[in-house]
Each structure stands twice: as structure tokens, then as C-alpha cells.
Amino acid sequence: MITGILFDKDGTLIEFHATQHSIYAAVLAHLKDDYQVPEPLLQRLSEKLGHLPDRLTPDSLIQFSTNEQIAQALFDACQRYAQERGWQRPFAANDLLELIERLSLSEDVPYVALPHVPETLAYLREKDYRLGVATVDTRAATVAGLKKTGILEYFDYLGTGEDAKPKPDPYLADEFCRRCGVLPAELLVVGDGENDLLFARNAGAHFIGIDAADESASSFFREAGQRSAADMREIIDAFGL
């Protein structure tokens, strides 16, 4: 019997690619305009992020990393470039982190709930399931995205990348279960990637995948023999919720 459901955020509740592509396009633009980062380095940073002109790559660093990890990866790439080219780096790693977090909260970020997410959450809340979010994003950006899409009110628990160990470590699932009175065997994790599946397995929870916009995650679920859904509404029938 399922009593609690823990959702990934990006790509599961909220559209991921357009949102994060917009944020990191702004990050790269600020690095160019405010810090005069040279074009060859901007190209390296785009490749490091998996940020193409019109989309993110399926294995984009952005999808599975905390803001701190992304900022450090960008900073390391800048350090290497500075050593190779004698470029004077005008910022520290923490400056990059602050830039990412500030732009993630911009009013221009196009947060959009995925199809049938609000009504599915409303149904689950009415049925008295305990609901939570487990994401690598910051708490401020998580609250902003959930609030903008009108779904923040449905959740009992928000677990973010700022809370101890990020997914796939089971810490966020353990905390959700502890705070909401849910047993691991009664927990359902819903996510759109391999990291979410590993998270569920590490927590001893049930799992269902949400088929992503690109084919890679859906193919992974099929190859792993793992149940997945093309639409959020399908989780209701899949687990008799």
C-alpha cells in the first residue's frame, strides 16, 4: 500500500529543458557581458554544461548536479583556460554560484507545469496521500518554480540540494518518511531519470518513471525493465491510488 509519494521536480513536475536552457543562456550571457569571458572559453563552458543554442543535451550536467557542483565545474574549466592562455580570471567560484542562483530566481524564467500535473496532485491530496519533492535544486528556486506553477500548496515536504546529501543518496527519502510518517515500503518515488530510479532503490521505495521529452530516459526505463508512464495521470491507475 502506498501512503506517500516523493516527486522529482525538473522533468517530472515542471518542464525542465526550456526552463534550465533559459537560465543558463542568461548565465553565459552575463559571463560574456559582465566579465568579458572570451568566446573560446564561452564555447568550452557551453560544452561543459551540455548547453546547445536551442536545447540541452540528454546527458547535460545541469540535469543531475547541484548549483554548487555546476558552479565548481564551470570554475575549474575557467581555471584551466586561464592557465593555458594566461587569461586573468575576474571571478571566484562563489561568484559563479551567486550568479546561477540569482538568475534562477529571475521573473523571466519560464516555469511551466507539465501536462496534468496540477490536477493529479489535487486528486492525490484529496485522497490524503503525503506528498513531497526531492530535487538537486536550491530551496529558493524550488519554491519559486512550484509557486509560479501553482502547485506549491500540495506538498508536505520539500527536499533540496541544500539538504545534506543529494540524490541518489536516500537521505531526502529518509527525511520525507520520518517527517511524514511514511514507511519506505509504502513510499512511491516518481522521476524522469536514472538518478531517480537509483534514489528509489537506495531508499527501498517503489518507483515509476515519467517518460522524458527526449528518448534517452524512456529507453533506459525500458531496458531496465522498469515501469514508466507517458503522462502523470497514469501513476494513479498503475498503483491503484
* Residues 85, 120 within the same domain: no
Per-residue pLDDT of the chain (241 residues; tens, 9 = 90+): 999 999 999 989 999 888 999 999 999 999 999 999 999 999 999 999 999 999 888 888 898 788 889 999 999 999 999 999 988 888 888 999 999 999 999 988 889 999 999 999 999 999 999 999 999 888 998 999 999 999 999 999 999 988 778 889 999 999 999 999 999 999 999 998 888 999 999 999 999 999 865 555 556 777 777 888 888 999 999 999 9
In whole angstroms, give the CA distance from residue 44 to residue 81.
Answer: 9
| DSSP-derived secondary structure for 20-33 | HHHHHHHHHHHHHH
* Residues 174, 194 within the same domain: yes
Q: The whole model's pTM is what?
A: 0.83
* Residues 118, 97 within the same domain: no
In whole angstroms, give the CA distance from residue 234 to residue 22.
Answer: 29
* Residues 183, 72 within the same domain: no
* Residues 115, 147 within the same domain: yes
- Of 104, 122, 145, which residue is a domain's last? 104
Sheet holding 130-134, edge to edge: 157-159, 130-134, 4-7, 187-191, 206-210, 228-229
Domain count within the chain: 2
Q: Closest Cα partner for 56 from 27, 31, 33, 34? A: 27
